[in-house]
Every structure is written in structure tokens, then in C-alpha cells.
Amino acid sequence: MNTLLPLQVEDLTLVLGGETLIDGISLTMIEPGISVIMGFNGAGKSLFLRMLHGLVPQTSGSIHWAGEGSSQNMRLRQAMVFQSPVLLRRTVAANIDFALKVRGLGDVRRRDELLELVGLSDLAERPARLLSGGEQQRLALARALSCRPEVLFLDEPTANLDPASVALIEDTLKGAAADGMKIIFVTHDVGQARRLGAEIVFLHEGKVEEQSPASAFFAKPASSVAQAYLDGRIVV
């Protein structure tokens, strides 16, 4: 049971240095599962994700989770995996222990389960920063899951990773979504969006161009810019 849904975003706007980066986004997400945010570079996908997680304050508009305004306490029920994982200068196990301790969930069994889940059990005592890119991102995902979030944000977590790591991360996300977690996932990879997405939110120039079920979006996107994106055409 996901108690943070529905997510309601009303006229969300972000202006920085006189430039409107997020331009009056309004949308609703009701169901758990994986929502994929897509769009060209500079469309505002990562910024929008950070705003949903409360890391970047909006200039105007509102974000409501289950009817409540976004707050620091709300973040306790969410987690985020960044494109470049930020790992502490500690061992793999200690990175998860840190998150568990901070959230008051200190539990060695939970840590071991998560390491097993992302295939890092054998590397538990290795310094985290010596892992490969794929292993680091799997560790970042395990750390995010250790907080037992109801909503998980991922900002292009598999960009430039090896196929084995991509497959493992995707399987882990599918499992989490099946357990009722809401996953909001930014990616450039159309194939990955097809594999994972239950719905697609297509952003363009800081606005929601389209929000559709994935099957409908990939069959026939409603907007010409989304169609151009899927066709691999450049839109200037």
C-alpha cells in the first residue's frame, strides 16, 4: 500500500536567473508502478525530478503527496538515485549501514539482503569508490532501497553502464514496483522506457508535452515533438 499517492502537481514553475526552466507543470500520478520521464536534453527532466523530491524549491506552484504539501518529512518516505552515484569514502557495506543508521533502521540482515539483491555480497568489504561504474550504481540503488521508500526517484541511473548492470537494475526496479513502490524514472533510452514504463511523461522546454500510458505513447504519441523524439529527429 503506497500512502504517498496520489501525487498532484499544480502549475509548478521554476525561474532561475530570469530564465523559466520549469514552466507551469501540472500532472497527477495515481497508481504505483514505473512512470518514465522523457525528453530532449535541457527539457528540465532532472530539475523536475529534484523538485518532486524537494531538493530544488519551486518559484511557484505546488506539489502534494496524498494531499499533503511537500516537506522534509515527506522526503523520509522517498529516496533518490542520481546519475553519478555519490558514495561515501567507506566500504560497500558501510555505505548501506550509514543510510540505515540515519533512518533509524540499523539492521545487518537488511543490509545483507540488499547487497544480495544487487549482486554485491562478495564485495561488501571493498572500498565503494573502487567499484566499477555499474557496481557503484547498483550500490547506490541498494542504499536508496535500504530506506524502504514509498517513492523512488532515479535520474538516468543506467547511463553508460554495462548491460549486466542495466539488466540487474531494471529487474530490481520491476520487483520494487510490483511490491507497490512508486518509481519515477528519468531516461534518454527509448528501449529502456519501453521495457520499464507503465506511463510516459514527455517534457519539452520545461512543460509537460504529454502524459500517456506507455503502450499508447509508443504506439502513437499525441505530440509532434514526442514523435520527433521517438523518430530520432532533432528538434531545434
Partner 1 sequence: MQDMGSAFSLAFGLLLSADADLMEIIGLSLQVSLTALLISCLVGLPLGALVATCRFRGRSALLVLMNALMGLPPVVVGLIVYLYLSRAGPLGWMQLLYTPTAMIIAQTILITPIIAALSRQILEDLHEEYSEQFRSLNVPWRAEIAALLWDGRFSLVTVALAGFGRSIAEVGAVIIVGGNIDHLTRVMTTAIALETSKGDLPLALALGLVLLVIALTVNALAFVMRQAASKFAYA
- Among 50, 67, 171, CA closest to 119: 171
State the binding string over 122-161 for partner 1 (x if CB under 8 A, else -). -----xxxx----------------x--------------
Angle between helices 108-117 and 92-102 (to 10 degrees): 130
Q: Does 82 bind partner 1 (CB under 8 A)?
A: yes
Tell me the C-alpha distance between 44 and 118, whole Å. Answer: 30
Give 6's DSSP letter. P
- Minimum distance of partner 1 from residue 173's CB (angstroms): 17
- Residue whose CB is less far from partner 1, 30 or 102: 102
Q: How far is the CB of 22 from partner 1 (least distance, A)?
A: 18
Cell numbers that stand for 35 in this block: 512512470
Among 9, 93, 99, 173, binds partner 1 (CB under 8 A): 99
The least distance separating partner 1 from the CB of residue 214, rounded to whole angstroms, comes to 27
Burial 158-177 (b: 16+ CB within 10 A, else e): bbebeeebbebbbebbeebb
The residues binding partner 1 (CB under 8 A) are 53, 55, 72, 75-76, 78-80, 82, 86, 88-90, 98-99, 101-103, 127-130, 147
